[in-house]
A and B are shown apart, each in its own frame.
Chain A
Amino acid sequence: MDGCRACAEVCPADAIRIVGGAESKESTRGNEGGRPKKSRMQIDLGRCLFCDECRAACPADALACGGDYRLATRTREDLLLGAEGPRLAVALEDKTRRLFGRSLKLRVVSAGGCNACEADTNVLTTIGWDIGRFGIQYVAAPRHADGLLITGPVTTNMRLALRKTYDAVPSPKLVIAVGACAISGGLYREQPEQMGGAGAEVPVDLYIPGCPPHPLTILDGFLRLLGRIGGVRETAGSGSCEP
């Protein structure tokens, strides 16, 4: 199926790139046998809406949706998926972790979010999830916070308010980007009314992909960041598949 771009073409967020292939310059680089290298596919989980369109479009049934909820990463690049799953978030360095590991207070700023990321962020405070037991709490004021949790692509109309809120959080501070919009602008990344995600305005420490991310994915991200789970560099299971 070399040269097929069906998945890339249907993706509403342009999250899929086909790298290399017979026609491409890249294909001959480091290619000793002289045969053209096969094209590779790269999925940007930071844009992905998890909408299933690529799977449905693939004529070779080569794509499947995984059931692994662990998706959060520490860098933007770690969300670029090749043959392997995302390189999962590692904990904060020791000094910062000592500060936040047992008590992390977050101010949530919705900056163009559609209220789905907000809802599944908020649900973690209900009794079914109870993030309070891990020492994590959403607080009312940035002055009381250790960091920001940002949703939405950061609309131009929220840019100043986000900046002021960030500045009002005492240092050292963390930023967590939740959802495709906050990571990359997501579906909205070409709209002139937005900035292309939180990273355009403030430094991001944790990326939690999804549209919206499942509450488990958000919680998993928090706990990895704080070193409560995980440890050495881990990769999410790209092979696991549930219907």
Chain B
Amino acid sequence: MSGRRLVHTENAEVLPVGDVPVVPVVTFRETVIDSVRDGARLVAFFGRPQEDRRLLVFAVLAMPDAGPLGVLAMAVDGRYPALTGACPQAHLFERELAEQWGVVPEGHPWLKPMRFHRSWQPGRDAWGRDPEQDPRPGVTDFYSVEGEEIHEVAVGPVHAGVIEPGHFRFQCHGEVVLHLEIALGYQHRGIERALVGGPDKRTMPFMETAAGDTSIGHATAYCQAREALAHSTVPPRAMALRGVALELERIANHVGDLGALAGDVGFLPTASYCGRIRGDVLNLSALLCGSRFGRGFIRPGGVGYDVTAGMIAELQDRLAEAARDAAEAIGLMWDTPSVTERFEDTGTVSRETCMEIGLVGPAARACGVDRDVRQDAPFGIYRFTHIPTVTWDTGDVFGRAHVREIEILRSVAFIQEQLTNLPRGGTLAAVAPPAPESLVVSLVEGWRGEICHAVLTDGAGRFARYKIVDPSFHNWFGLALAMRGEPISDFPLCNKSFNLSYCGHDL
């Protein structure tokens, strides 16, 4: 049984880093590969350099059936046999490891850079590139299909809409996409590297802009980690308010996505209404803290701003109105066969594929996979108030839209309940300095899915390694697979049905 080689931990629980078993490479591979085959999921996989220049590689696994988190480590000296061949979930993680630290996962089927930055480990580069030269983004091998009737379509990094940059390479036979390869990295700002040595005054805004449309999600993941490292607790009132803010972020983005999906098939009524309603919900976040994106609301120890009775009443009224309007606007689209016809059986990802590549969030739940951090590894207020998980089993654009639609209803009900029964008391507790030589894994169910922050502290309690895994990191490959066999003209629709973060991936 592979489980014995892992140390078990829970969401946002502190562990002395010495408790993590450092096993031989062969044991590490076996344990991760076997666990994933038995239903576990690779949540995080990252390196921390040691003084002897070997790289300590950590794996964090979510054990099946809402089990605990399992952590183990191996020491890598330059090269090691890749896991990806037997464990596709490791694919991007191993490319990231190679790019950051210059180690070579031997036998990796598609080992190429993913963010196009120089190696973080001086003198070590997985591809033997010139250390004085910045790598050129997107300049790399691409999977290609040969044949007289095959053509290639390249899109980006600058796209037609108001959207972040990324490069998409389609291999097409006529209109049909045989394969899509996505090359990102254009948004790389070096966040993980800048976090080392923290926490400091820049840490919080880095979190709020890691993926700026998920400010509350990433800020909450950070604060949970920070509080766990200090053995601090959050006042009940702040805990409830954090949940309110997280669900407001979910509602705003889901409403926006549903409107954009309608827009992508030319159904303007839902698109127009949802564009406005999304703003109405963002303005509720502004009511909480002055920022439509919730900047400044989540703070270590609680929340930055309290609410008055008057604000609660206003929030409840305005939310109820927005929810009514959203339900009507979305209903218009479902009453229109020309919309449902375009959504159904488009961009389908099977349940098996979802499990194999480890999708998260609404994209996974639309494949019938009951996966939600709020339920599987409950954090904060979700330990006390259950929010029902929404699944659908078609795995297509309709499924991803429908899951969002129902999640809006659940989130609205949750917020109304929290605001009605908001605990009294303070909203911000003091937070002690972080514990030294510790590891904490903090998970949050953001609107796109599982956000993971894995933090290692050094002997002085500073951040020695801060690993951020945005849900988009897991899900971009899902979009690529969803496009197989689809007409290329459906790409905007499929893309919007995932609506992934570029900067959250590129960090």
Contacts and interface: CB of A to CB of B under 8 A. Distances in A.
A binds B: yes
Contacts of B112: none
Given A115-B164, A158-B187, A188-B189, A165 B158 contact: yes
Contacts of B165: 109-111, 158, 161
Given A112-B189, A141-B160, A128 B503 contact: no
B189 A126 contact: no
Contact of A11 (B194, B201, B501): B201
A234 interface: no
Contacts of A89: none
A185 to B, nearest CB: 10
Contacts of B212: 113-117, 119, 212
A155 B186 contact: yes
Contacts of B424: none
B157 A153 contact: no
Contacts of B201: 9-12, 53
A12 B136 CA distance: 30
A161 B295 CA distance: 30
Contact of B116 (A121, A122, A126, A157): A157
A126 B275 contact: yes
A211 B293 CA distance: 10
B302 to A, nearest CB: 14
Given A49-B205, A155-B189, A214 B276 contact: no
Contact of A116 (B136, B187, B190, B209): B209
Contact of B501 (A115, A156, A165): A115
Contacts of B164: 110, 113, 115, 118
Contacts of A193: 117, 188-190
Nearest to B135: A157
A155 B166 CA distance: 13
B160 A110 contact: no
A43 interface: no
Nearest to B160: A140
Interface in A113-136: 113-123, 125-128
Interface string B151-168: 000000110111111000
A152 interface: yes
B161 A140 contact: yes
B137 interface: yes
Contacts of B117: 157, 193
Interface in A154-196: 155-158, 160-161, 165, 187-188, 191-194
Given A155-B189, A157-B187, A122 B162 contact: yes
A50 B210 CA distance: 17
Interface string A58-90: 000000010000000000000000000000000
A16 to B, nearest CB: 12
A194 B194 CA distance: 13
Contact of A118 (B162, B205, B290): B162
Interface string B269-282: 00010011011000
A105 to B, nearest CB: 13
Interface in B195-224: 201-202, 204-206, 209-213, 215
B185 interface: yes
A45 interface: no
A153 B292 CA distance: 21
B290 A156 contact: no
B296 interface: yes
Contact of A152 (B185, B187, B501): B187
B134 interface: yes
Nearest to B274: A126
Contact of B188 (A10, A13, A138, A157): A157
Contacts of B162: 108, 110, 118, 121-122, 125, 138
A108 B158 CA distance: 9
Nearest to A162: B158
A52 B201 CA distance: 13
Q: Which of A157, A158, A192 has the most CB of B within 10 A?
A: A157
Contact of B206 (A123, A142, A187): A187
B106 to A, nearest CB: 27
B295 A123 contact: no
A114 B209 contact: yes
A184 to B, nearest CB: 14
A51 interface: yes
Contact of A119 (B213, B296, B304): B213
Contacts of B501: 115
Given A11-B201, A122-B162, A193-B189, A115 B157 contact: no
Contacts of B188: 112, 155, 157, 193
Contacts of A113: 164, 187, 212, 503
Nearest to B204: A12
Q: Which of B115, B189, B276 has the most CB of A within 10 A?
A: B189
A113 B157 CA distance: 13
Contacts of B279: 123, 126, 128
A104 B205 CA distance: 33
Q: Which of B187, B213, B215 has the most CB of A within 10 A?
A: B187
A128 B187 contact: no
Contact of B276 (A12, A109, A119, A128): A128
Interface string B87-112: 00000000000000000000000000
List the 7 closest pairs (A to B, CB-CB), nearest first: A114-B212, A126-B275, A116-B212, A140-B160, A193-B190, A122-B162, A157-B137
Given A138-B162, A211-B295, 19 more contacts: A9-B201, A50-B295, A53-B201, A114-B212, A117-B212, A126-B272, A126-B276, A140-B161, A158-B137, A158-B165, A158-B187, A160-B137, A161-B158, A187-B202, A187-B205, A188-B189, A193-B188, A211-B205, A212-B212
Interface of A: 9-13, 49-53, 65, 107-123, 125-128, 138, 140-142, 152-153, 155-158, 160-161, 165, 187-188, 191-194, 211-212, 214
Interface of B: 115-117, 134, 136-137, 157-158, 160-165, 185-190, 194, 201-202, 204-206, 209-213, 215, 272, 275-276, 278-279, 290-293, 295-296, 304, 501-503
11 contacts: A51-B205, A110-B165, A113-B503, A115-B501, A118-B162, A119-B213, A120-B292, A123-B279, A160-B137, A187-B202, A212-B212
